[in-house]
Amino acid sequence: VNPVTAGESRWTFKHPEVTNITGKVSDLDRFDAQFFKVHYRQANSMDPMSRKLLELAISHKTT
């Protein structure tokens, strides 16, 4: 089960030590490999966090 894309109903625990708030990252499957000059095979095997880091770094550089 992937906690990023799993539905909300999966994470309804009624336990005092488990948080009832979740955060999800949208559009993890979307990545412009051509823009970053990354081969599509490498882009498909990259960790989603690495792809998001590249996107955030370039967005901060351009602002």
Secondary structure in 3-state letters for the chain: CCCCCCCHHHHCCCCCCCCCCCCCCCCCCCCCCCCCCCCHHHHHHCCHHHHHHHHHHHHHHHC
Instruction: Judge whether 58 lies within some domain.
Output: yes
Domain limits for position 44: 8-62
Q: Is residue 3 in a domain?
A: no
pTM over 0.75: no
Per-residue pLDDT band at 63 (split at 50, 70, 90): low
Higher pLDDT, 63 or 30: 30
Is 2 inside a domain boundary? Answer: no
Q: What is the percent of the chain where pLDDT is above 90?
A: 35
Considering the domain boundaries, does residue 32 fall inside one?
yes
Residue 47 lies in a domain: yes
Distance CA 24, CA 3 (A): 8
Q: Tokens in use for 45?
A: 């095997």
With tokens 């602002």, the residue in question is: 63
Give me the number of domains the chain comprises: 1
